[in-house]
Amino acid sequence: MDKKINPKTYHTITDFYASRILDIIDQNIKFNKRSCYFLVEIKNFNNLLFLYGNQDTYKMVENLGVAIQTDSLRVEVINHNHYLCIINEYKDDKEILSIAYEIFAKMHEFGFNKNNAHFYFHSVIGFYHTNYEDNQYSQDVINKCIIALDHAKNSQENFCSFKQVLAIRQELQKEIQQANFVHKSLHFKNYSLAFQPIVDSITGDIHYYEALLRLKNDKGELISIGPYITTAEKYGFINLIDNISMEMTIDMLYKHSELCMGFNISSLSFESEAAFENILSYLNLHQKVLPRLIVEITETSVIKNLGKAAMFVAQLQNLGCRVAIDDFGAGYTSFRQIKALSADYVKIDGSFIKDLASASDNVILVSAFIDMCHKLGIKTIAEYVENGNITKTLIELGCNYLQGNYFAPAQSGIPIELNMNNQDK
């Protein structure tokens, strides 16, 4: 192949579907070629144009195109800062990714000297590949390259395929469906509480019940809201969920004066001044039951303002509540944050507990968690306790409280009787 590229007339971005480009793609489609198209954008073109003017910059763009072209990779100049690189009869996705990386690397290695300074081109690539059986138009191919390129730029990636965009779109559609389901459930009050006991590891008595929000699906089944929490945080439903859980739990405390209960709030509540004040104001109206209330702060997102979070925990404790840090070890909370927050309890995430009897490394980690918390004056709760062997190990490690299906699954209605038959296993 001739290594000389004819830049012809530099097309504007609105003239993207230049006939010469579309003709090349149409010919590949007509002859059933298995082709991949890499749309390359020079990200710092405008900066170079400003510094060195049209003539020098355009010349370097032309030379860059020659440098990245190979015998198997055809390079077409689309406009002043875009190329379309084309390869036919690729082997597989792995080869395509390798070529994308090679194009990217060559562009960044290619530099030029000007006024005793060395400058480099910075690029981003969106690509799309066709198969023999594909029946589409050349404009469709270009559009898919543009979509992939836009996603690469928006996500600050070096390159992206249209296949990746499709996967992300499917994930986004699933996320939107989840958000709609949560919104509908909250709007029509299709929810209720389930309760799971937290058991004293020494006496076997129920220390308190965790109140867990359940949503009713289209089949009328009550399902955990847990898998929807991240979506709720992203779409702004989490404060409403926190408020519903809080109000329903407080109501249960009035109905069952002999019981202690806990409910979950998101750590994002610290980030919203309105949510922060709303929780404290509501609790302040119900101080009578607060000594029997445990506020469990979930660890699904990083606590950005540790000082503000510590103040929130202190205010909850001043009102008479106890505070637990939930899912410790699964997310972002560190021992430093645990110390700063001065919580009453730390709940060790179930991912460390469920394989405790067979995973020696988990035993070491859980032992360290428990020991550190005890030295800080914080009591520990192990989640996901599913059998007697795990229970025995946790008792030996000195864990204060246990929670899991071994004692009782989360269920509607209280008081919940423990699975006493399990206690001898």
CATH assignment of 189-424, among 1.10.10.10, 3.40.50.300, 3.30.200.20, 3.20.20.450: 3.20.20.450
* Amino acid (one-letter) located at 122: H
- Write down the pLDDT at residue 132: 57
Size of the chain, expressed as the number of residues it contains: 425
pLDDT tens string 213-223: 999 998 999 99
Please check the confidence at residue 249 and state whether its pLDDT lies above 60: yes
- Write down the pLDDT at residue 137: 83
pLDDT tens string 325-344: 988 876 656 777 888 889 99
Please check the confidence at residue 39 and state whether its pLDDT lies above 90: yes
Q: SS3 for 130?
A: coil
- Write down the pLDDT at residue 283: 97
pLDDT tens string 355-365: 887 788 889 99
Please count the other Cβ atoms lying within 10 Å of the Cβ belonging to residue 214: 20
Q: In terms of C-beta distances under 8 Å and separation of at least 24 residues, what long-range contacts does 143-147 make, across chains too? A: 145/37, 145/38, 145/39, 145/84, 146/16, 146/39
- Write down the pLDDT at residue 347: 95
- Write down the pLDDT at residue 106: 86
- Cα separation of 292 and 286, whole Å? 11
Tokens standing for residue 160: 């992206």
Mean pLDDT for 255-262 is 95
In this prediction, what percent of the chain has a pLDDT beyond 70? 88
Which DSSP string corresponds to 265-286?
EEGGGGT-HHHHHHHHHHHHTT
8 A C-beta contact, residue 418 and residue 408:
yes
Please count the other Cβ atoms lying within 10 Å of the Cβ belonging to residue 408: 20
* Amino acid (one-letter) located at 305: N
Report residue 77: phi and psi, to 5°.
-80, 125
Residue 233 zone, left/alpha/beta (φ > 0; ψ -120 to 50; rest): alpha
Residue 134's pLDDT band, with cuts at 50, 70 and 90, is low
Contacts of 81 (CB under 8 A, 6+ apart): 41, 42, 45, 46, 61
What's the chain's average pLDDT? 86
* Amino acid (one-letter) located at 248: M
Name the class of domain 13-169.
Answer: alpha beta
User: Would you list the domain boundaries of the chain?
Assistant: 13-169, 189-424
Mean pLDDT for 232-239 is 89
- Cα separation of 166 and 279, whole Å? 40
pTM value?
Answer: 0.70
Please give the order of strands across the beta sheet that includes 159-161.
73-79, 82-88, 35-42, 123-129, 159-161
